[in-house]
Amino acid sequence: MAGSAAIELQHLCHWYGSGSMRRQVLQGVNLQVAAGEVVLLTGPSGCGKTTLLTLVGALRQVQEGAVRVLGQQLNGASRRERQVLRRSIGMIFQGHNLLRCLSAEQNVQMGSDLLLELSYRARRDQAREWLRAVGLGDELHKLPHDLSGGQKQRVAIARALAARPRLLLADEPTAALDSKTGREVVELLQRLAREQGCAVLMVTHDPRILDIADRLVRMEDGLLLEAERPRETAQA
Amino acid sequence: MGLWQGRRIPLSLLLLTRQPVRLAVALAGISFAGILMFMQLGFRDGLFDASVTIHRLFDADLVLISPRSTSSVSMAGFPKRRLVQAMAAPEVEGISPVHWNLLLWRNPETRGTRSILTLGFEPNDPLFTDPSLAPKARLLTQKGRVLFDEQSRPEFGPVAQWFKAGRTVESEIAGKRVRVAGLVGLGTSFGADGNLLTSSETFLELLPNTPPGSIEVGLIRLRPGSDPEAVAQKLQAQLPSDVTVLTKQGFIDFEQNYWRTSTSIGFIFTLGAAMGFVVGCVIVYQVLYSDVSDHLPEYATLMAMGYKLVSLLGVVAREGLLLAAFGYLPAYAAGQGLYLLVRSATQLPVFMDTTRAVTVFSMILVMCMASAALAMRRLADADPAEIF
């Protein structure tokens, strides 16, 4: 597992704007995330964490530096190549971004629908399975409108996992959850990482969950500072 | 990837139905456009149909008219000899010469005059396919007798009521006294507000200036099994050019064509239908565009998850398709109801025929798909990079 890295970044640079308004947000980031590894990314707001996530998530064109995600080179990748790669990347957003017109179960199934080789029934069963896993087995048919903020975020997490990603990107997923559910969810993520070799790159400010990470990375002014291994410190 | 995927979540359907107010607005708009098209096209076709009320009734396979005739309101004469010459063809079974003109009828109650379509024929000859005419036609052998169309407009006077009440109804045509010998039911048309049948003899007495041996319409009946098209061509080649040989359908088309091309009726009603189409386009486009705009972050999320732009465009296209189907049904039902209303109020023969039902559905489909195509351009604004 350790040999095939989920994420490999070499001297990644990114700019926004053009001309005199051009502003550099990433100043040569180097990062390696192994398959199945859980990496937490912290840092002050505006330091480029979200930009890093969108680049790794194949949502943005790479400008400079080398980006390799799940074995695929993203420099100069076409729109179509990035779209296909995104099927293997689960994303959990700060806002839940659920489809308002779909029930919880249907929202999760929009994730499992990306697995075209499964039958409709199998995908639906899988969607229910994931909802039960995040503790929403009784809310299958509720619309996002009728769910609490925390429940909506758990549906979003179930949706991201339903596509059986090999890499999970999360932007402050526990921000809307109470501490108990927050812990449950990140423990679930960790279990998934172990079971399926799915790597996790999570941006978070939540100090309560830092201990689940295999590795902590801190970002400041577009540069990464490798931090200590939290598990060792926490267990020590 | 098929246009419809049964094994997926019906996203388009849910997008529409989970917003009932917007859906209702869209459907109301589409139905309104559909009803407008049904009405305008229905009126147009109904009016064209009504112009040939009489033409349809004739018992004829072929019809001879003068090439100088332009429509039922201006029929020119041709020599009756031509009709007799046509008898020479082996396929011809029988002929009926018919005099045809608009004459001034005096309303027996108000004494006002109004022009009425008058047909003069030999009472023993078949004229209409309806067999109920034959016994009444015998009454015309007496001079100065006419059969009055009871469906004529009321401006001709209470002829039918008086006659049914047992009164002797007499009036004047072109200054000559005539007596109503019976009633027939034919129906009015564009060119004629009323109809009158009489014998050739009486007709010529009413119109003494008619050149001898001249008729306006010659009906030809063929032996069973002969091809009217072929016989018409053959006769046309044999007969001199002072006569035109038409099939019965050709005679009907000749009349409708006049109203279609020489009057503005077709244009007016087609324009009305086009207005409905445009109004519908605007409404559907508005609804779909705001629907896509409202769901833009959700579309962007789906793109971030790895859905193809094409499959999201498909969602919008299917929304258009569903709107077309859902909007057409009430329009069809309302169209049926309104046609019923029009028939009872105006006597116009307006019916829901398949051609028009399909035409209007195609128009609605084009309307919805074109609007969906325009609304899709908004999807290009969905940037998955903006949603983190």
pLDDT value at residue B180: 94
Residue B58 bridge partners (DSSP): B128
DSSP state string for B304-347: HHT--HHHHHHHHHHHHHHHHHHHHHHHHHHHHHHHHHHHHHH-
* pLDDT value for A230: 53
In chain A, the residue whose alpha carbon lies closest to the alpha carbon of B297 is: A97
Extents of the domains making up chain A: 1-88+165-183+197-236, 98-164
Hey, what are A163's tokens?
Answer: 């596509």
Q: Who contacts A49 (Cβ-Cβ below 8 Å, separation ≥6)? A: A41, A43, A171, A203, A219
> What pairing do the DSSP bridges indicate for beta strands B195-199 and B145-149?
antiparallel
For the domain spanning A1-88+165-183+197-236, the CATH number is: 3.40.50.300
C-alpha distance from B9 to closest chain A C-alpha (Å) = 7
CB-CB contact of A148 with A136 (8 Å): no
H or E stretch covering B101: strand B92-106
C-alpha B175/C-alpha A208 separation (Å) is 112
What is the distance in angstroms between the Cα of A233 and the nearest Cα belonging to chain B?
Answer: 31
Question: What span, in angstroms and rounded, lies between the C-alpha atoms of A168 and B219?
Answer: 87
Mutual orientation of helices B354-376 and B265-294 as an angle, nearest 10°?
Answer: 40
Confidence of residue A222 (pLDDT cuts 50, 70, 90): confident
Phi first, then psi: give them for residue B161, nearest 5 degrees: -60, -45
Q: Report which of B369, B356, B361 is spatially closest to residue B44, judged by C-alpha positions.
A: B356
pLDDT band of residue A1 (cuts 50, 70, 90) is very low
DSSP code, position B293: H
Q: What is the pLDDT along chain B (388 residues), one digit of tens a residue?
A: 443 444 678 889 999 988 899 999 999 999 999 999 999 999 888 888 888 888 989 999 999 999 999 988 889 999 999 999 999 999 999 999 999 999 999 999 998 999 999 999 999 888 998 888 888 888 999 999 999 999 888 889 999 999 999 999 999 998 889 999 999 988 888 778 899 999 999 999 999 888 888 999 999 999 999 999 999 999 999 999 999 999 999 999 999 888 888 888 888 988 999 999 999 999 999 999 999 999 998 899 999 998 988 889 999 999 999 999 999 999 999 999 999 998 888 777 888 989 999 999 999 999 999 999 999 998 888 888 877 7
Give the whole-angstrom CA distance, residue B373 versus residue B284. Answer: 11
- pLDDT-derived band at A228, boundaries 50, 70, 90: low
pLDDT at B7: 65
The C-alpha atoms of residue A182 and residue A165 are separated, in whole angstroms, by: 20
Residue A53 to residue B388, Cβ atoms within 8 A: yes
**Among the listed ranges A31-40, A51-60, A188-197, A208-217, which one has the minimum average pLDDT value?**
A188-197
What does the DSSP assignment read for A145-196? Answer: GGS-HHHHHHHHHHHHHHT--SEEEEESTTTTS-HHHHHHHHHHHHHHHHHH
User: Chain A residues with CB inside 8 Å of B14's CB?
Assistant: 101-102, 106
Task: Identify the bridge partners of residue A64 per DSSP, sorted by sequence position.
Answer: A13
- State pTM to two decimals: 0.76
Q: Is B305 on the interface with A (CB under 8 A)?
A: yes
Tell me, what's the pLDDT at A224? 86
Q: Within an 8 Å CB–CB cutoff, is residue B139 touching chain A? A: no
Quick: pLDDT tens for A27-41.
989 999 988 888 999
pLDDT in tens, A178-192: 788 778 777 877 776
Q: For residues A102 and A106, give the distance between their C-alpha atoms in angstroms, rounded to a whole number.
A: 6
What interface predicted TM-score (ipTM) does this complex get?
A: 0.88
**HEC string for A95-142:** CCCCCCCCCHHHHHHHHHCCCCCCCHHHHHHHHHHHHHHCCCCCCCCC
Q: Which residues of B touch A89 (CB under 8 A)?
A: 306
Question: Is any Cβ of chain B less than 8 angstroms from the Cβ of A109?
Answer: yes
Dist. CA A115–CA B5, nearest whole Å:
14
Q: Give residue for tokens 């040569």.
A: A28
Question: Does B308 contact A at CB distance below 8 Å?
Answer: yes
Angle, helix B296-305 to helix A79-86, in steps of 10 degrees: 80
- Write out pLDDT tens, residues A109-135: 998 888 877 888 888 888 998 888 878
Region of residue B175 (phi > 0: left; psi between -120 and 50: alpha; otherwise: beta): left
Q: Where are the domains of chain B?
A: 11-50+264-386, 67-242
CB contact under 8 A, A101 and B308: no
Range in A103-107, A219-223, B196-200 with the lowest mean pLDDT:
A219-223
**Which pLDDT value is given to residue B4?**
43
| A119·B7 Cβ contact <8 A | yes
Residue B220 contacts residue B98 (beta carbons within 8 Å): no
Instruction: Give pLDDT, residue B68.
Output: 94
CB within 8 Å: B304 and A86: yes
- Under a CB-based contact definition with an 8 Å cutoff, are residues B151 and B347 in contact? yes
Contacts with A90 (C-beta within 8 Å, 6 or more apart), sequence order: A111, A160, A161, A163, A165, A167, A168, A169, A198
Using only the alpha carbons of chain A, give its radius of gyration: 18
The overall average pLDDT reported for chain A is: 84
Shortest CA distance from A54: residue in chain B: B385
